[in-house]
Every structure is written in C-alpha cells, then in structure tokens.
Structure 1
Amino acid sequence: MQRRPTAPSRSSVLQPRPKGELLWVHATTPERYLALCDIGRRLKSLRPDLSVLASWEPGLRLTGTVGCDIPIGPLPDDTATEARDFLNHWQPDACIWTGTPSRRVMLKQLRERKTGVLLADLLENEVPNRASRWLPDQRKRLLDGLTCILTPSKAVQARLIRAGFPAGRVELAAKLRVSAIPPGCNDDELASMQQVLGSRPVWLAAHAKLSELPQILETHRAALRLLHRLLLVIALDDPQDLDAAAKLLQDSGLPFADWENGGEPEDLCQVLLTSGEDLGLWYRLSPVALIASSLDPAAQGQSPLDAAALGSALLHGPGIHAHRELYERLAKAGAAQPVRAQTDMADAVVALSAPDKAAEMALAGWQSVTESAATTDKLLDKVQALLDQREDTNAGT
C-alpha cells in the first residue's frame, strides 16, 4: 500500500534561520510584543549578529506595529514532533516568554537542550490554578525548565515558591512595557535657547506632515488670540518638505524663522520651522507637544514615547493606529489628550499653557514611560548572560 504523504510541519516551511545568535520572544498582548521587540533592538545594538524571532498567541492583532526581525505568528501545536522540528529549525540561543507557560512539551525540549528561558511579566490571572496539569504533579519539572521568572506581583512570587520554584529564580519586577530611549541634544544649544525663550509659551508640532500644516497654523492663529507671545515650533516629518513649508508660511502671513538656515525665534517671530532632526532639543523646550502625523484618521501615527520621556504634555489626532496601545496607556495615566477638531486643538493648547496643568500631564507621562525601565534593564542583563553562557558552551564543544 502506498503511504499517504503527510503535510510538512510548520517549521519546515518557514524562512531559513539567519546566521549568528537568535533570541526567541513570545508575546501574549500587543504591548508585550512591542516591549519584547524593543528589547531585541537594544540587544542588537550590543550584539550586531543577533536576530530576534517573534511568536505570539493566536488571535493577537498586531497590525501596524513596529516588529521584530522575524515575526512568525502563532506557534505550531505543542506536540513532540512539532516542538522538535521547530527547535531544530530555529535553534534559539535564549528565550523570553510572556503569559502562562502552558507549552509543556516545548519547555521540556528547551530544558533538554539547555536553552535558557526567561518568563517575564507573569500576572496573577496567568498563573494556572491547582486544577491545571502543570501545577499539581508536573509543576516541579516544568518550572525547572525556566531559568528565571519575573513578576510584578508579590502574591505570584509567593505562590511560585510554594509550587517548588527556587526563591532565587523568581524576582519582583515592574510590568513589562515599552520604555523610551529619548534623543539627546546639545547642552549648550539647550541653555542658549532657554535664555532666548525665557518665559515665552511654546508648543511643538512634532513629525508634522505638509498636508497637516494648514490645520496646525489655523490652530496657532486661534491660540494667539489669547496667548499673544505663543511660539509654535514645527518639526517636519520629511525634511524634503522644508521649501514647500516655508512657502506656505510666507503665504500665511505669520512671522516665522527658518531654523535650518540660521533663523532664531526673535520676539516678533510666531512660528519656527525645523527639519525635525533636533526633536531632542524641542521636546525639552516645549511644555506642550502635538504628535502630528496623526490628524488624518487613517494615519498610522508616530510613537509618543520620546515626547513623554522628555517632559511634554501630549496632544494627538485620531490617526495613531500603529501605536494605539501606547496612547491609551498614556491617556489612562492622564498624560495624553486626543483632539478631534481644530477648535479642540486650539482650546487644548491654550489650556495647557498654564504651567501647572502642563507639568501635571508631563509628570504623568514621564512616570508612565519610565516605570518599566528597570525591568527592561534587568531583562537585557539576563539575556546577555544567557547568550554569553551559550557562546562559551558552544566554544567548548
């Protein structure tokens, strides 16, 4: 009898494994996916030959997000054959998982291969109850396959220790979130501009698209009726639009200066035009920042992390689809405010010109985007140690 051909396992039809080290990350929420890929990018700056393989739970929507090197989607079934084929194909050197460690077969094979697995951001609702298979009888063997568990919950920590996981390998850490590495600026230039601006109110349109400038300028006109010394800094998303933007400003009648050609915001200047290359400077100087490229409802938008980390109260339009989770987190913290219409934007700019209100929002934003920095640093150190250990082991074989 002729044997019926079997379908190839999922791992056998994936793209080839890249050369060099491979970090495998597994996400259970969009925010965790962003955070894990961010950790991967930071590691790549330290280890140039590193690649980041990303998998995630079925049904997770990651449309528009900035991802990892090799996004493969949901994992194959947790069978011995699928797990073996997957690991033979990708040969990860280290892993960061999030969520419930429910893949018993995969974890067993990783343990047998002596591949380090870090379980990050384990929450109370992700620890299986005693009726589950992995805690009562097999919990010790499964837990032993994890190099370390990070959790923001003391209750989870205590429960894991009672389940047999060594106390030295379960650590408290803040929730896993994307953290910012904000752009720097020239300190002398910052001090000089602080002196030039003095107490003058400033708002910034960061990542502004040429098509958004008419609406932004009309917003500025409306705000100027109540704040006569208000300065608008326009940081263009595309430097090639500088000439067209300057022409538009000339036609608007608003006095402006071209920063790229040596112009400075003198007393009568109402708009300062820049290419966007000095956003680290303008975020530090602007209590209020509109994260532009978001006024079109269909736009993907830009990340708000840098602005929040550098102390700006945030405004944004509806087009934030690529970073929606970040904006929702900042809005929940009281650090970001959506504006749906031109009048909304003008009212918000005027309201946030009050230093106490802008400072309150800016502090909330800074706290939100920096609260997970220690967790990120801890994971970076632990992955580095696992990769170094793997390198030493491979060198000795």
Structure 2
Amino acid sequence: MQRRTIKSGHSYTLQPRPQGELLWVHATTPERYQALCDIGRRLKSLRPDLSVLASWEPELRLTGTVGCDIPVGPLAEDTLTEARSFVAHWQPDACIWTGPPSRRVMLRHLREQGTGVLLADLLDSEMPHRASRWLPDQRRRMLEGLTCILTPSKTVRDRLIRLGFPSERLELAGKLRVSAIPPGCNEDELATMQQTLGSRPVWLAAHVRLDELPRILDAHRNALRLLHRLLLVVALDSITDLEAARRLLQDSGLSFADWENGGEPEDFNQVLLTGGEDLGLWYRLSPVALIASSLDPAAQGQSPLDAAALGSAMLHGPGIHAHRDLYDRLAKVGAAVQVQTQSGMADTVVALSAPDKAAEMALAGWQSVTESAATTDTLLERVQTLLDQREDSDAGS
C-alpha cells in the first residue's frame, strides 16, 4: 500500500479503494464532520455496498466516526498533481463539500471527471472573494461545476445569483448539523409503564459507569428528602456491570427493582436498575435525564442527541470532550445543564421536577436537534440521485 505525506506532516497509508459505490465527504469543522459521518451512516443503511471516504482541512484534529469507513485525514496541497492522484485512486462517485470552495484545483478536476459535487452549509463568511478587481472575476467559473449549493443564508443565495450561478441549482437549507434518529420502544410496554408510574416524578441516569453509581445514588438520596416519591432509573453503560451494580444498590439502603430480572417499580421502590438496552423507553418516561459516562472530568462522554430528541431535560458532568460542540449548542438554548457535585445534581433534579421548567428545557433541546433534519433529508435525496445517475452513466458506457 502506498504511503503519502502532506505539507502539515500528516502521514497516512493509501489503502485500496473498496468495491462498490464511494461517497467522498469533506469537512471544515468538527460539527460538520460529525454531521457528514451521520449522513454517511444513513446512506449506508439504504445502499449496503456504499463506502464513505472522509477528509478534512489540515488545521482540524479529528478521528474516525461510525458512518465514515475511510477517514483519510487532511487533504494535501491544492495542486493538479495531488488532485489527479487523489481522484484517480479513490474514483469517488459523488462528493459532499462543506464550507468555502477554496480548493479550486480539486473542484475543477472533479468537474472535469464528471463527479457530482454538492456544496453544503455555505455561510456568508465563506463566500469566495474576487482575487482582484483589476482581473476577470473567476468566481462564477469556479462555482459552475458544482451540482448544487445549499446555504442557510439568503444573503449568500442572492450574491450567488448576482454572480450568475443558476437559481435552480441553489437551495436555502438549515445549517448542517447532526440530527437524531432516536431509539424506538415497545408501545404496549410504554403504555403499561405510564400507567404504573402515574404522576410519580421520575429521573433517568443513562449510560452509567459503575464508578459513577455511588455518586448518583448519593444525589438521589439527597433529592428524596424533598421529593419522597421520586424514582431513579439507572441504565448502565455496560451490561457486564449489572451484578456489581446490584451489590452496590443492596449496600446503599435504597429499595430497588431489578428490571433485568423481570422486576417492575413498586410504590416503595426508590430505584429501578436496568441494563441500558431500553433507553428508548426510559427517555420517553423520564422528564429529566442525566447523561452519565461524564462525571469524570477526563471522560469523553456520550451523545445527548437521543435524550434531546425524545424530550428529556438534560444534566451532564464535565467529561463530555467527544461531544462538546453538541453540549455547548444545547446549553446555549437552555436545554442542558452541567453539574459538578452530588449536591448540585440533587438540587438540579429537584428544580426540574417542576413540570413547566423541564418541559421548557425539553422543547428547546428538541428544537435544537431537529432543526437540521430537513437539510439532512435533502442531502440524502440529492446524493442518491447523483449515485443513481453515475450508475446509469457507467452502465451505458
């Protein structure tokens, strides 16, 4: 396998191109990378022989994500030699480019090779500028090879039209962000549990690691002083911790029901222990959810998307490094709260037991994680069209 080194010093092995269709996605921010890999994951469920190649700008420090089969890393310099080598090796059937179309040589070469390119999420600050007012304006020529441009900005759309870009190949779309596909649940089981719990206040600790459980139980014990009927649902991050978690609960003095052994919460139970495979059910039943695996400041954390999409007001610890952009966005709209201590966790759970406050946070979270769903659907549809056209073209040649 060929070894390549780019200007930034990044070196990688140029592995063989996989068989079947290949979608190339290029990211300019970590959030766009996550969103593109999410789109790749969804496309792969629709087209099983599809592979997704991911690249990004040299200044980003990213790692692979589910949905991107080949995280090839930062692109080399934008020269004709590099563009020819890259495209000849990978032979992409379609491409999603995000951010500024600054790699003019690469985009021109893709056009010449007949590869459809969708430019997504073009912002005002990323519009290409005229190199010099004394020289011919090359921006229209640079953009004309793009199959379609999606932008959340009316200003960008209007400027592109003034440049002469065809309006039928322009589309206003929301910002490109990861959108949730929340886990389902058994509807009969949901109805039964809603009846069982009635008006009882419930909060969920999801993705709980064993070393976090004592702190969560202490917080629950403190909250019980003000909310005597409060039920904590503990959903473990790993089923292998189930037996050890049972022992911790037995030693805690809290009354618990064991869902994995067929137990259901009785009025006197203060905790319900589950292995974590039914999170779709518990998110729907819990107005408040702690997204655990985050209490250790050095932890990477878990994605809050499912909780937000299913209407839970969210708490989390400081260890959210792998998903910080998502949590920052949710915090900005008031959908997520960081807690540092057991007492802070207990106080927040009690405060959010007021239905109006939890509902306000949950709505903000739901709006935030679903606002890009239409953009995702548009890209999925357009990429499939490009891939179908490429397949038809190859079959006819």
Partner residue, 2:31: 31
Change (3 A) 1:197 1:8: closer
Where 1:76 maps in the other structure, the secondary structure is coil
- In 2, are the aligned partners of 1:327 and 1:336 still within 8 Å (CA)? yes
SS of the residue corresponding to residue 376 of structure 2 reads: helix
Task: State the alpha-carbon separation in 1 of the partners of residues 29 and 157 from structure 2.
Answer: 21
For residue 75 of structure 1, what is the aligned residue in structure 2?
75
User: After the TM superposition, which of the residue ranges 51-60 and 167-176 deviates more from structure 2?
Assistant: 51-60
Residue by residue over 1:307-332, the C-alpha shift from the partner in whole angstroms, topping out at 9 and shown as x without a partner, is: 00000000000111111111111111
Q: Mapping of 1:302-317 within 5 angstroms?
A: 302-317=302-317
Q: Which residue of structure 2 aligns with residue 358 of structure 1?
A: 358
Q: Secondary structure at the match of 1:52?
A: strand
Mapping of residues 1-397 of structure 1, within 5 Å: 14-62=14-62, 68-131=68-131, 137-397=137-397
CA contact (8 A) 1:34 1:66 kept: no
When residues 269 and 395 of structure 1 are mapped into structure 2, their CA distance, relative to the original with a 3 A threshold, is same
> 1:125 is matched by which residue type in structure 2?
S
- Whether the 8 Å CA contact 2:130–2:138 is kept in 1: the answer is no
Alpha-carbon RMSD: 1.7
Give the distance between the partners of 2:178 and 2:391, measured in 1 at CA: 28
Provide the C-alpha distance between the structure 2 equivalents of 1:321 and 1:262, rounded to a whole number of angstroms: 36
Decide whether aligned partners of structure 1 residues 220 and 76 sit closer, same or farther in structure 2, where only a CA change above 3 A counts. same
C-alpha spacing 1:327/1:65, structure 2 compared with 1 (3 Å):
farther
Count how many residue pairs are aligned between Structure 1 and Structure 2. 390
CA contact under 8 A between 1:9 and 1:82: conserved in structure 2? no
Contact map agreement 2:63 2:71 (CA 8 A) in 1:
no
CA contact (8 A) 1:123 1:151 kept: yes
Task: Give the deviation of 1:130 after TM superposition.
Answer: 3.2
1:62 Cα deviation from its structure 2 partner = 2.5
Instruction: Judge conservation of contact 2:308–2:369 (CA < 8 Å) in 1.
Output: yes
Cα distance in 2 for residues equivalent to 1:53 and 1:379: 16
CA distance in 1, matches of 2:64, 2:270: 36
For the residue of structure 2 that corresponds to 1:207, the secondary structure is strand
Q: Structure 1 257/8 Cα, relative in aligned 2: closer, same or farther at 3 Å?
A: closer
Equivalents in 2 of 1:240, 1:304: separation in Å? 23
Instruction: Return the letter of the residue paired with 2:188.
Output: D
The answer for unaligned runs of 5 or more in structure 1 is: 1-6
Distance 1:83 1:171 in 2: 28
Instruction: State the AA in 2 paired with 1:137.
Output: D
State whether residues 64 and 300 of structure 1, in contact with CA within 8 Å, keep that contact through their aligned partners in structure 2.
no
Identity %: 81
**Contact kept in structure 2, 1:293 and 1:302, CA below 8 Å:** yes
- The normalised TM-score by structure 2 is 0.95
**Is contact 1:9-1:85 (8 Å) kept?**
no
Q: 1:273 to 1:108 in 2, by over 3 A?
A: same
**Structure 2 unpaired stretches of 5+:** none
Could you tell me how far apart the structure 1 residues matched to 2:35 and 2:50 are?
17
Cα gap change, 1:255 to 1:125, in 2 (>3 Å): same
Structure 1 residue runs of 4 or more that deviate by more than 3 Å after TM superposition: 7-13, 63-67, 130-133
